[in-house]
Structure 1
Amino acid sequence: MTIATSTIDASNSDLDPYSPRAQADPHAFYDRLRQQGPVVYVPGRDVWLVSGYAQAVAVLRNHADFVSGDGVTFNVPSTRTERYPLIENDPPLHDRIRRSVQPSFTKRAIESFAPGVENAASEIAHDAVELGEFDAVEVIARAMPDQAMTLLTGITPPSAEALAEWSDATSRGEEPAGTQQHSESVMEALTWLATEGLPAMPAHCLGRLIVDSGGHDGRLDEDGSQRLMTLASMWLAGIDSTGALLGNAIDAFVDHPDQWDLLRSRPDLIPNAAEELLRFGAPFKAFFRRTRTTAHVDGAEIPAGARVAVMLAAASRDPLQFPDPHRLDITRENAKSHLAFGNGLHVCLGSPFARLEVVSLLAELARRVARFERAGEARRSPSQTVHKFDTLPVRVVPAEGESK
């Protein structure tokens, strides 16, 4: 059989996804990778990379051959004994767990949070204009999801710094460069949530519904571990992913002022702009699947026991799906077909809430800010999973009628 794939020796190639070069400029790496084909095996990492859009969708929708229950990260966690129920399970267990919380993410349910999210967005945009020059990570990218997730879940973290560290460690502990410190931070977060966070939650909130009632249908396990981990996965993942997206969005508008001008002149484009920003600055570089039997993708034969990386950010810039993919275009007609939230049965449960956050913040910033400018050297996070900034110094030019 002819296998339509490429084999890359990571020991002597620049196509190792975890090399410093690839991490420093992931989109250039994705372009080099794509030249080898949509499905590539890297022996040095013992990983299959799926970077083509159509191939990524095929893997994400084929949960029978590409399972989540054996791990969705590069390394299978060894210190965390409980799995994250929504992303680390397969049907039928995954479906039962998802159904228990899905009613909280319907259109009507999410709309009930709009006033609170919009008020938070207004305060954040006001603070940005008042400051004039600031770190967009701290003032915008962290502030929005911090406040929004408290509204959604009822969890009030001990500090913004602790929450940032915990959410960051959630993915980094299971990367090739993950450390014991990352694993300890995750356990610290789960311990705090169980001992301090849960007792302090208000009487009526999503957190209480999950932990006290076992979800809308009461079918989450009664011993508490599944309930705790379901809530923790929503909380921690929602912080890091939306924060990464917002930092990437501000950076994109610094580099593409014409698109910011267009957004300000056409507020009706804000929902589509949010989708284009998700495509252009996808927060997650990759999510993993494992094979239990031989599987096939686009002619490539992938053996049993394989580690398969679905390159979400690469697929969202596949030129076969998105013409001129490295151009930010808030009018792009198929922007919403991006894979930033995944695809298939594991598509991000909280995606409607994340969209509400982004749309609300873009609306407020467009009203108050005429232009974003770079005010210092930005620094990317060393995270090998999440494409985000550690610092992003910017300066804002207030819109006419706005003052510092």
Structure 2
Amino acid sequence: MVTSCPASPVSPAAPAGRQDDEQNLRAPVKKSRRPRFRRKQPLQPLQPGPLPGDSGVCDLFGSPGSSSDGADSPSASAARGCSPPPGSRAQQWGALDLQTFRDYGQSCYASLRARESQFHPRGSLARQPQVTAESRCKLLSWLIPVHRQFGLSFESLCLTVNTLDRFLLTTPVASDCFQLLGVTSLLIACKQVEVHPPRVKQLLALCCGAFSRQQLCNLECIVLHKLHFSLGAPTISFFLEHFTHARVESGQVAVPEALEAQTLARGVAELSLADYAFTTYTPSLLAICCLALADRMLQLPHPVDLCLGGHPEETLQDCLGKLQLLVAINETSLTHMLPHQIFEKCNLSPRRLK
């Protein structure tokens, strides 16, 4: 039951109606007797942080009011302090967590290896009348430098290619919309992995204004619907990290050598992602073969054990042979994809690769 507070003395000059209103509106207020703590240090001014972007999370690549020609470019984003490019030494050393591998490594590997066949798109261009292996290679050869300029992870690139190929299995795509499908797949992959994915207007600016924002959003909905929102595919990136942790944990190789081999294997795997001939191999098979080829190129005394992946010997040798030919053809491209200190140690002689 709420009661009015007791009447307080009011000035005789105050009207009677005003006295009644004040009595009815007032409520008892109990002052807090908690002690007040003062900060020992003054508050520091807040740093200018990222503003919400159109991908649902905070955006690192500039404010919404910035223009899309210069301020939103990937190179300008990198200059403002975005994440280091894949393969940098700081990112490598921070990614090797042996304790987490001991606790969850084998269970995660067993789970993803069991689901690998469900997410593996075989013959993705079999039902495509306008998209060819050459056009796919051109698109991915364009997306790989784009993902590097944005400072995205290798996992994002692998998920992009997987989303692209799996959608090609379900729906015929016109040749003039193939680039839009590429950037849409990149956006979907980045939303799963990256803390700060690229903004829609940045991706549209890369296409030189050929597509609208509404077209990209509509295609994103179509891709998600066709794939039934099943996006967590096992990737080459995961298996490369798993095999690297496994060989370091077993004491077969030192940590610096294992990280250098992993970086080189990522470069070889990037080349294989753009080649349609390697879509027949599963990510775990490609990962172990890329790592074995990287060990040969770096001339490590204890190369990785090919039996770690549990694949047939004939399939392993077939994949290794094609990877050697791929590296020999794209030696110049591999030079620009790798850190200089790692590429200097590589021996690309055909005799050494065998």
Q: Taking structure 2 as the reference length, what is the TM-score of the superposition?
A: 0.31
Higher relative contact order (CA 8 A, sep 6+): 1
Q: TM-score, normalised by structure 1?
A: 0.28
Higher relative strand content? 1
Q: Which has the higher helix share?
A: 2
